[in-house]
Structure 1
Amino acid sequence: MDTKCLATDGGCVKSCGGRKPLAIKMQQVLDITVLMGGPSTEREVSLVSGGAISDALQRAGHKITRCDISPTDTSALDRKGIDVVFIALHGLFGESGEVQELCEKRGLRYTGSTSLASTIAIDKAASKEAFRNAGILTANWTMIYKGQSQADILAAVEPLGLPAVVKPVDGGSSVDVTIARDAAARDAAIADCVAKYEKVMVEAFVKGREFTVGILGKQALPVIEIKPGSEFYDYTAKYADNSGTQYLFDHGLPEQTVANMQSAALLAYESLGCRDMSRVDFIVDAAGDAYVLEINTIPGFTSHSLLPMAAAKAGIKFDELVCKIVDMAMQR
């Protein structure tokens, strides 16, 4: 796959939405390269996110180059005059630190977390270790690797009990995530996942309600409860058909639980050294304990993505959100 770039110039220079309370008003025309697509299983989502981001920045008056980038052709980053790179790549290559490192080596400003923070965040085991070391509640887990004997696998996973969650250690958008309710389903899911990814995480299942907390800069955004129409908030519910999914700000949680969740989200973000933006996913059990599931350093920017939804609830429109992220990158 070759890098495909399309440069587009915005019209007149505008502030990002014109709202007086907004601290940032971008008044200079910036040359911004938006990276999207890429090689991961989340490619199609990334193209939608990147397109929406590009449109927003173009409306703000900036010169935009849209790039469907590939690990085998990164020449788009060698173009002269780039002010900032907006990384809208989801999954491997984009959220795993490679693109960030390419930008760092070229001295380019870019949005989002550093290569080091990205490498840790996308690795569910490494990030959960960091969460636990920071005192953040997270479900018990174990790692399974290709070539392990069945006896070793069973010895590792049986203490977690059933149901169990089987997932790729470095995937996103809930791709290939299975909730196994019996041993046969668990073992089959492990075998399938190991064959595809070589290493997988098996996690104790926490029964409860799903929530997410978006982070912008150093601000925790309003908490959203996710009520999927399916068993859990999977890829289909996130991006293909969310008609049965409810996103609730009026979730009835006690104020202290909400505050605790926002604090835990910020602590998770800071424990990995993240910056600019992230989204932290939680399960809240019947006792009101909030378990961190994972952190997403490059959340979706589609029409029903959660970070833009939470930002809108906080009074930050989509175009303002995108411009604010660019502004944070420009200040470095």
Structure 2
Amino acid sequence: MHYIVLEGGISPEHEVSKRSAGAVTRALHELGHTVETLDPKEISTDEILELAQGSDGIFPILHGVGGEDGVLQAAFEEADVPYFGPSALSCHNTFDKVIFKKLLESQGLPTPAWNTVTVETLESEPLAQHPFVLKPIDGGSSIDTFIVRELPFDPAPLLEALNRHGSMLIESLIEGDEITVGVLGDTALPVIEIIPPQNSEFDYENKYNGATRELCPPENISDDIQKRAQALALDVHTATNCRHLSRTDMMINRTGDIFIIDTNTIPGLTDQSLFPKAAAEAGYSWNQLVAYFSKLL
């Protein structure tokens, strides 16, 4: 089979995408496939579609804007090109955090209280009177995400980010344990417990520097909570009409309540990424996982 793997892209997550795409490309080669890698930052969508006509499908291993927002997926669908990953609509509905929050609420799925804020409204926002999280409405890998645990807070870096983004999403900070649950096909993968370095957050740096403990199976999460988390991940996967894969991040508060934070439609696929780690615990080697991916196209 001959596949096209898209890498890099236009988002701030360009380098992470290249690492994920490189890992997928190597596995496809080792599985006996031929692969052409393309970077949408350097080639137009029309050119990608033209090259795709002679392929068996596309792996859009692109994180963030231009990869998980559904724009490229919509072009693939219009051109009837098979591709890996959730549909254009699913990507759009999970990438835009406001749409995603409203969708969760419409399905009765638990998520922290939230609102959108601007430079003008941040400091008067009721949610900013208690510990909170401020993050872009669209984006990933914790870029421009601020976790404010102590009040009063220094507004300067947050206002700087708001000036860049225009408006951002604010949500109540859930104090407790952080977990993530992947879904492969229609099966929830084992839960991963995420423990950042002491006195640190699971931010962009700690996602990729190896300092965060990512425990699969978890050491501090009860079996009951793990089962509930897996069920919630499947609920989100179904509610957003995801296909092939997704990964949902959650927080567990001190009384055992689970809150859905975010869902990724093209989760990281590097050697340090969470989805492959959960798949490995479920019995998939890396090459077996990518072979499974290829059968989904």
TM-score (norm 2): 0.94
Q: 1:276 aligns with which of 220, 235, 244?
A: 244
Does residue 256 in structure 1 map to residue 227 in structure 2?
no
* Counterpart contact for 1:33–1:86, Cα < 8 Å: yes
CA, structure 1 residues 71+197, in 2 after alignment: closer, same or farther (shift >3 Å)? Answer: farther
Indicate how the Cα distance of structure 1 residues 169 and 76 shifts in structure 2: closer, same or farther if over 3 A, else same.
same
Matched residue type, 1:231: S
* Pairing 1:43–2:11 present: no
- CA RMSD in angstroms comes to 1.7
Shift of 1:154: 3.9
Task: Give the deviation of 1:251 after TM superposition.
Answer: 2.0
**Secondary structure, aligned partner of 2:134:** strand
Between the aligned partners of 1:205 and 1:310, the Cα distance in structure 2 is: 26
Contact 1:211 1:281 in 2 (8 A): yes
Structure 1 counterpart of 2:201, one-letter code: F
Q: Distance in 2 between matches of 1:49 and 1:260?
A: 29
Is the CA contact 1:236–1:242 (under 8 Å) kept in the aligned structure 2?
no
Secondary structure of the structure 2 residue equivalent to 1:222: coil
Amino acid in structure 2 at the alignment position of 1:125? V
Match of 1:226 in 2: 194
The correspondence of residues 167-206 of structure 1 with structure 2, limited to 5 A, is 167-182=135-150, 185=153, 187-206=155-174
Structure 2 unaligned regions, length at least 5: none
> Within the alignment, does 1:161 sit opposite 2:129 as a pair?
yes
Pair 1:181–1:189, CA change in 2 (3 A): farther
How many angstroms does 1:106 deviate by? 1.3
Distance 1:266 1:110 in 2: 22
In the alignment, which residue of structure 2 is the partner of 1:82?
55
| Distance in 2 between residues matched to 1:49 and 1:164, nearest whole Å | 31
Q: How has the CA–CA distance of structure 1 residues 244 and 214 changed in structure 2, closer, same or farther, with 3 Å as cutoff?
A: closer
Q: String of CA shifts for 1:194-224, please: whole Å, max 9, x gaps.
A: 2111220111101001100011010000001
SS of 1:211's equivalent in the other structure is strand
Shift of the 95–244 alpha-carbon distance from structure 1 to 2, 3 Å rule, reads closer
Residues of 1 paired with 2:23 and 2:127: CA distance? 44
Q: 2:37 is matched by which residue type in structure 1?
A: R
Aligned partners of 2:188 and 2:230 also within 8 Å:
yes
Identity %: 33
Match of 1:102 among 65, 75, 79: 75
Alignment partner, residue 122 of structure 1: 95
Q: What amino acid does structure 2 have at the position aligned with 1:317?
A: S
* Aligned counterparts of 1:197 and 1:268: Cα–Cα separation in 2: 27
Q: How many corresponding residue pairs?
A: 294
Report the CA distance shift for 1:162/1:315 in structure 2 as closer, same or farther (over 3 A): same
Q: Aligned letter for 1:46? A: S
After TM superposition, give the deviation of residue 254 of structure 1 in Å. 2.4
Per-residue CA deviation, residues 275-307 of structure 1 (Å, 9 max, x unaligned), is 101110011111011111000000011111000
Does structure 1 residue 132 correspond to structure 2 residue 105?
Answer: yes
- The normalised TM-score by structure 1 is 0.84
Amino acid at match of 2:60: I
Aligned to 2:275: 307
Structure 2 distance, partners of 1:161, 1:270, is: 35
Deviation at 1:246, TM superposition (A): 3.9
1:237 aligns with 2:206: yes
- Other-structure match for 1:64: 35
Q: CA deviation at 1:160?
A: 5.2
Once the two structures are superposed, the pairs formed by residues 310-325 of structure 1 within 5 Å of their partners are 310-325=278-293
Unaligned runs of 5+ in 1: 1-29
Task: Tell me the SS of whatever aligns to 2:175.
Answer: coil
By how many angstroms is 1:186 displaced? 6.1
The 5 A counterparts of 1:206-221 are 206-221=174-189
Contact 1:161 / 1:204 at 8 angstroms: preserved in 2? no
Cα distance change of structure 1 residues 38 and 160 upon mapping to structure 2, 3 Å threshold:
same
Q: Distance in 2 between matches of 1:67 and 1:326?
A: 18
Tell me the alpha carbon deviations over residues 16-45 of structure 1, each in whole angstroms, 9 at most, x when there is no partner. xxxxxxxxxxxxxx1100001001000000
Cα distance in 2 between the residues matched to 1:88 and 1:236? 21
